[in-house]
Structure 1
Amino acid sequence: MDKYMKHKLPTWLQPVFKSQRTQNVEQVPEPMKELYIRSGFRVMNQPWSYYLLSLFNWHNETLNVWTHLVSFVVIWNYTDHLGETFDLKGSSAGAVILAYSIGALLLTFLSSVAHLFHAKSLKHHYLFFALDYIGVSIYCFGCGILTHYVFSPSETFRVLRNTYIPVHFFLCFNSFLSCTVAKLYFHGNKRKMLMVSGCFAHTLWLLIPIFARYYYCIVDTSCSVLSLNHLVAMYICLMATSVAYVAHQPEKSNPGAFDIIGHSHQIFHIFVFFTILAQFNAMTYELGMTKSVNAELTVNQVYTVHIILIVIEITAVIFLLPQLNKKVKEIENCASAKQN
């Protein structure tokens, strides 16, 4: 393949598509291993250009990067399209759209960056995935804004008006911290179970307005439950995303067969994209019917809370740096002892 490209590609493009060597699972540190993935790991301690150019090579992270990069472009275009209908900077509906869209954009972009560059070293592995978890928490915060201001019944909104967002803010940070600590101290199924448990209470909190929406529809004879199918589609996608994340299928049934294409984390990314599309569809449907939200919200408020959450989480990462460095040193010393 390299010989073919050398003759067919312009000289300046040849380094981009040059095949890169990958490693088997036995050659990578324990924290970088993924359950039932046996090959396709990139070599550590290479120049940054190596990892950037790995975007155009086949390894076990290639589709993880590209699925979220494509999602990022679609979300950007979708948000831009909504800007033709809604005043994104001067209306409460626009502020909700931006709150959700910023979260979805950061989720997909930071995840792509993490999957592309984390193999640089063990320390970079931890730091880039902490960045990934920041993106997840900002996305979750946007989901809460969307749920509270658009999907929540007015009665429920009035009851939770002073508590929903503060509690949601705390749960976003808790989800970030759970994922970061789980990544630092645990491996395999234990790590994933801690991550999922950290997000479980958060999910229940997000569901409260949705359950209330169904309750008020059921007791209202003029409301058809079928009119809420756009919300059902959203949570079916979310459930499928969760199953894909924890099931480790199909690679669990046939370890090594899906290392490059078809493993569960790639499927998880695809379902994340479907969930985002379903949320955009539900948001567009609801706002298209009413053109309004439950209460006034400004773009400055959205930006301010996002910045505060990001600063707090970066501070938490800085606080954890001594433990991170200690963990990296322990793993490297252990690896050196085994080699000797």
Structure 2
Amino acid sequence: MSSIKQWLKPWSSTLCVENVPLDLREVGIISGYRLEHQPWSYYIKSIFKLHNETFNVWTHFLGALAVLYNLKYSFDDLNPRETKARELLVLFTICCLITNLTSSVVHLFHSKSHFIHYIGVLMDYIGVSVYPFGTAILQMYIGANRTVYYAIHDIFIYLNICLGLINFIGVALAKLYLSHPSMKVQRKLLQAGSGVIYFIFIAYRDFSRAFLRPNCQMSTLGHVAGLGILLISMGAMYSFLFPERFWPGRFDLIGHSHQMFHVIATMAQIIQIKGVVVDVQIHGSDVAYDISEPNMAALYRSLYVLLFVDFCVLSVLIKKIVIPKTKYQ
């Protein structure tokens, strides 16, 4: 018990906001900032110290483990012959792991310098583009009804790549051009807005699954409603910085919006996995799952293409914006 209490004490090797460069400050976070320009080992050891990034690191790392556990649990609930559902769940889980683990690593190291901060955050945004990309695939081949499936089947892979790229470019440019703390709320709103098209694209197919299916079950409605509430909550937490924006200093270490954003994201991923099991177990004649034959090789290639294009854009942003922006910092 004493060791737990000792760990819960704020790490002495941290700074107050007045001693932190403007670009690295967080709205409503007054203390707990780690030092800049320290050895890499300093940041690795900080995993086990209490500062304002500790739970940002652990929530996504433990979230990745929770998603893996639920994938295994869902496999136990699926009929062994449901190979399509299993393959799609594996691909979705890979997308979740990319998102969660990338974010966890970035939160661990981004305080090292301005350059590392911007590179790390942009890498994190690549993960941000991958999660809805995987969600769209999951819903297309299991959740959509026949009308929606046939309407976009021929262009779905290309459309999904384009939306993922637009999402990445939107959040990246917002970060690079609205980095000052006084513009953080505007930046968060713009970043959330860059994913609105993706959200509508996904939400429409959820709507069609829940309300246009003649024999929709209450369990399906529950998963759709639960996922919608969580996704909206994620956007609200991310954009409005609640509660730390309104009570500065009270949630520096535990309880600020980004930590809750991570937790809600993991809950949404788990609900999506469980929703697939429900859909497969009770699917009716109007479900894409009955008719679709996803080409898994093509879907994996589309993920590789998205990652490749994102990294190409990242390299341009580093050369044209990040290096000049951090050259004298």
- The aligned amino acid for 2:262 is H
Query: CA separation in 1, counterparts of 2:248 and 2:11?
Result: 24
Query: CA separation in 2, counterparts of 1:166 and 1:19?
Result: 48
Matched, 1:284 2:281: no
- The residue that corresponds to 2:310 in the other structure is 313
Return closer, same or farther for 1:260/1:88 CA change in 2, 3 Å cut-off: farther
RMSD of aligned residue pairs (Cα, Å): 2.5
Superposition TM-score, scaled by structure 1 size: 0.85
CA contact (8 A) 1:152 1:212 kept: yes
Matched, 1:124 2:120: no
Query: CA separation in 1, counterparts of 2:29 and 2:11?
Result: 20
Matched, 1:204 2:200: yes
CA contact (8 A) 2:157 2:302 kept: no
Report the secondary structure of 1:35's partner residue. coil
Query: CA separation in 2, counterparts of 1:272 and 1:18?
Result: 26
CA contact (8 A) 1:287 1:293 kept: no
Query: CA separation in 1, counterparts of 2:192 and 2:81?
Result: 35
Superposition TM-score, scaled by structure 2 size: 0.88
Q: Any unmatched runs of 5+ in structure 1?
A: 6-16, 333-340
Q: How far off its partner does 1:255 sit? A: 0.6
CA contact (8 A) 2:17 2:33 kept: yes
Report the secondary structure of 1:162's partner residue. helix
- The aligned amino acid for 1:324 is V
Matched, 1:57 2:76: no
Q: How does 1:95-114 map to 2 (within 5 A)?
A: 95-114=87-106
Report the secondary structure of 2:154's partner residue. coil
Q: Which has the larger radius of gyration?
A: 1
- The residue that corresponds to 2:325 in the other structure is 327
The worse-fitting range, judged by mean Cα deviation, of 312-321 and 294-303 is: 294-303
CA contact (8 A) 2:70 2:270 kept: no
- The residue that corresponds to 2:17 in the other structure is 25
Query: CA separation in 1, counterparts of 2:10 and 2:44?
Result: 12
CA contact (8 A) 1:40 1:60 kept: yes
Q: Any unmatched runs of 5+ in structure 2?
A: 4-8
Return closer, same or farther for 1:213/1:247 CA change in 2, 3 Å cut-off: same
Query: CA separation in 1, counterparts of 2:216 and 2:40?
Result: 57
CA contact (8 A) 1:104 1:276 kept: yes
Equivalent pairs counted in the alignment come to: 314
- The aligned amino acid for 1:304 is R
CA contact (8 A) 2:74 2:273 kept: no
CA contact (8 A) 1:21 1:42 kept: yes
CA contact (8 A) 2:167 2:195 kept: yes
Query: CA separation in 2, counterparts of 1:304 and 1:228?
Result: 32
Q: How far off its partner does 1:160 sit? A: 1.4
Matched, 1:158 2:153: no
Return closer, same or farther for 1:290/1:98 CA change in 2, 3 Å cut-off: same
Percent of aligned positions that are identical: 29
Structure 1 residue corresponding to 2:73, chosen from 52, 57, 81: 81
Q: How far off its partner does 1:303 sit? A: 2.3
Q: How does 1:35-54 map to 2 (within 5 A)?
A: 35-54=27-46
